[in-house]
DNA sequence: GGAAATTGTGGGCAATTGTGGATTTTTAAG
DNA sequence: CTTAAAAATCCACAATTGCCCACAATTTCC
């Protein structure tokens, strides 16, 4: 279970150094084999290969002639790139994906259970500000959240 | 059940020394394994690991494509960092979380049942003033509070 | 058209810096 | 006065960053 946020900087070649505290888990779970793809909200998603393959299986089974399915397959499958941790615990993020998420130097890596999200740091901070300002109430809040007790 | 407030100071490395009276309980409940995350009200939440894992299970089960769920997962799971009590009874608070809650030197640790809250001391004092001034009446008070007998 | 050279990209190595842990001293409380 | 807790200083290990080398691909010249 991946959790927690880390503030990181990409090196001059667009490589992201995974924080040491996550490396052991990644080595164990997937021998450093990762998949990066894009998210609809403007960040990148980083999956251990086995986790991604499961999602991929669900994606390719979606009905071929449904407009939403095709879109989702093009966005998610289409951008999915395999990459692996090098000897120094770094992953090279493909230039098109870096461009998509506006990643330059300062980024944050956010643990989200079975995956990580990678955000441009400024984008993350401003989006987080909006989420916090909006609070928990509002539109259509699922009942699971209404009854959630922290 | 954690109760009571303590006025504390972070050391130069951002470590918080847990008051001695709570240490024994934490050692017993979770062998010093803790999780810190953020709260929507601008403070940090400190959980014994098992307590947090229960909340985490609920969080990851929320629907993936609901906007509110995603936000809540990003805020709560995304900031949740594991840390543990060192030999001196201190926890290192990760820099991004310290930044979030504006923690510098003077902080307060507030027992809240199954967790602690960590506030910047000045923020705590001014917020507490607002809560007291607002009193109990007002907007939409849930019936559970209306009928509460102290 | 083929071959060679140069440039760009990816990976590995090494050094420096920062972080985490331990020890010691001081202060406060009993 | 004694003991325990808190704070500050110091040391060591490890992580991160910058640099260098090697391989590959593309382009240019013969």
pLDDT in tens, B43-91: 999 999 999 999 999 999 988 888 899 999 999 999 999 999 988 899 9
Per the structure, the complete domain to which residue B119 belongs is given by: 5-134
Name the DSSP class of B31: T
- Residue B10 Cα distances to A26, B43, B104, angstroms: 32, 15, 7
The reply to whether residue B73 touches residue A135, judged by beta carbons under 8 angstroms, is: no
What CATH number did the domain enclosing B52 receive?
A: 3.40.1550.20
Residue B129 lies in a domain: yes
Q: How far apart are CA B128 and CA A81, in angstroms?
A: 50
Task: Output the CA torsion B119→B123→B128→B129 (10° steps).
Answer: 170
Total domains present in chain A:
1
Residue B38 lies in a domain: yes
Give the minimum alpha-carbon distance from A19 to chain B in angstroms, rounded to a whole number: 13
Query: Are the C-beta atoms of residues A107 and A118 closer than 8 Å to each other?
Result: yes
Nucleotides, chain D, CB distance < 7 Å: 4-9, 14-19
Query: Are the C-beta atoms of residues B33 and B82 closer than 8 Å to each other?
Result: yes
Query: Are the C-beta atoms of residues B73 and B59 closer than 8 Å to each other?
Result: yes
Q: How far apart are CA B88 and CA B23, in angstroms?
A: 10
Query: Are the C-beta atoms of residues B35 and B81 closer than 8 Å to each other?
Result: yes
Share of chain B above pLDDT 70, in %: 98
Q: Which of B2, B71, B90 is nearest to A135 (CA)?
A: B71
Tokens of B86: 């060192």
Residue with the larger pLDDT of the pair A135 and B33: B33
- Is the predicted pLDDT of residue A7 greater than 90, yes or no? yes
Residue B85 lies in a domain: yes
The reply to whether residue B82 touches residue A134, judged by beta carbons under 8 angstroms, is: no
Q: Which of residues 50-89 of B touch strand D (CB under 7 A)?
A: 88-89
Residue A150 lies in a domain: no
Contacts of B77 in chain A (CB under 8 A): 3, 111-113
The reply to whether residue A5 touches residue B95, judged by beta carbons under 8 angstroms, is: no
Give yes or no for CB of B24 within 7 Å of strand D: no
Residue A33 lies in a domain: yes
How many CB pairs below 8 A link A and B? Answer: 79
Residue A21 lies in a domain: yes
The reply to whether residue B75 touches residue A132, judged by beta carbons under 8 angstroms, is: yes
Spell out the alpha helix ranges (H) of chain A: 20-30, 49-60, 67-72, 78-79, 95-100, 121-134, 143-146
- Is the predicted pLDDT of residue A15 greater than 90, yes or no? yes
Span CA (B113) to C1' (C30), Å? 30
Span CA (A34) to C1' (D25), Å? 26
Query: Are the C-beta atoms of residues A5 and A109 closer than 8 Å to each other?
Result: yes
- Is the predicted pLDDT of residue A12 greater than 80, yes or no? yes
Span CA (A26) to C1' (C7), Å? 35
Contacts of A145 in chain B (CB under 8 A): 62, 68-69, 72
Mean pLDDT of B101-109: 92
Residue A143 lies in a domain: no
Tokens of A22: 């996550």
- pLDDT value of residue B144: 77
pTM score: 0.90
- pLDDT value of residue A9: 94
Strand pairing partners for A116? A46, A111
Query: Are the C-beta atoms of residues B15 and B91 closer than 8 Å to each other?
Result: yes
Residue B150 lies in a domain: no
Tokens of A44: 């990148």
Token match 């709570």: residue?
B22
Query: Are the C-beta atoms of residues B68 and A136 closer than 8 Å to each other?
Result: yes
């Amino acid at each position: 279970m991946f959790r927690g946020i880390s503030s990181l900087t990409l090196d001059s070649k667009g490589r992201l150094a995974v924080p040491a505290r996550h490396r052991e888990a990644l080595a164990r779970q997937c021998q450093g084999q990762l998949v990066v793809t894009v998210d609809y909200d403007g960040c990148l998603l980083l999956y251990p290969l086995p986790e991604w393959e499961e999602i991929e299986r669900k994606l390719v089974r979606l009905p071929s002639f449904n407009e939403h399915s095709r879109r989702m397959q093009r966005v998610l499958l289409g951008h999915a790139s395999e990459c692996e941790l090098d000897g120094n615990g770094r992953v090279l993020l493909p230039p098109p994906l870096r461009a998509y998420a506006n990643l330059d130097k300062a980024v944050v890596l956010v643990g989200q259970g079975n995956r990580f999200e990678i955000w441009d740091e400024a984008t993350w901070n401003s989006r987080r500000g909006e989420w916090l300002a909006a609070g928990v109430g509002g539109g259509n809040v699922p009942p699971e959240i209404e009854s959630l007790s922290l």
